[in-house]
Amino acid sequence: MEKVYVFKVALKHRRGLWRRIEIKGNQRLADFDWLIRDAFNHDTFDHLSEFFKERWPRGGFGEIDPDGGGSGAKKRIDQLSLSEGDKMGYVYDFGDEILHNVTLEKIVQPEKGVEYPRVIAENKPRYRYCERCQEQGKKTIAAWICIECSEEEGREVLLCEDCLEEEHEDHYADEILY
Ligand SMILES: [Zn+2]
Ligand SMILES: [Zn+2]
């Protein structure tokens, strides 16, 4: 029976942000890539990514296109010769180089009726709040960082969906990941 690989994937530069992901040994790096993109709010339609064993770009397993193609896409998880405790890396977007630490925590038996790959746990969110709502005495979780205002003011300008639409409609903004 196919084994299930349990990985912890964490952003290298924001280690508090992690997801625990289960994937079967006969699934492909393209499947793993897709789930990581989804779990970390990366684009699923743009930018290349790659898993690697050493220090990127050394030891790479081959690039993966967002459409599931690429030289590394078809490699199976059980072909990477990983044992429990082994670490590898994942880079999303060769331009911005968003690096992730990927640790194989354990290898377990599959559960009946479960679809893999899947996210089974994630960090506890440390929410931040919309500054415009706060000024009005309301506590609303911020969903966006306005990049334009942040650069202009030299601090992070955090906003909820409504406030972004009302006052920063034409500004370039990034979604905040918790
Ligand atoms: Zn608001
Ligand atoms: Zn703005």
Tens of pLDDT, residue by residue over 163-178, are 999 999 999 999 999 9
Predicted confidence (pLDDT) at residue 135 exceeds the cutoff of 80: yes
Whether pTM > 0.95 for this model: the answer is: no
Surrounding ion ligand 1 within 5 Å at CB are 130, 132-133, 140, 160, 163
Q: Edge-to-edge strand order for the sheet containing 158-159?
A: 158-159, 144-146, 173-175
**Ligand 1 centre from 155 Cα, in Å?**
17
Structural domain spans, the chain = 4-122, 131-175
Report whether CATH 3.10.290.30 matches the domain 4-122: yes
Predicted confidence (pLDDT) at residue 73 exceeds the cutoff of 80: yes
Ligand number, closest to the Cα atom of 168: 2
**Ligand 2 centre from 63 Cα, in Å?**
35
pLDDT at 1: 76
Predicted confidence (pLDDT) at residue 15 exceeds the cutoff of 90: no
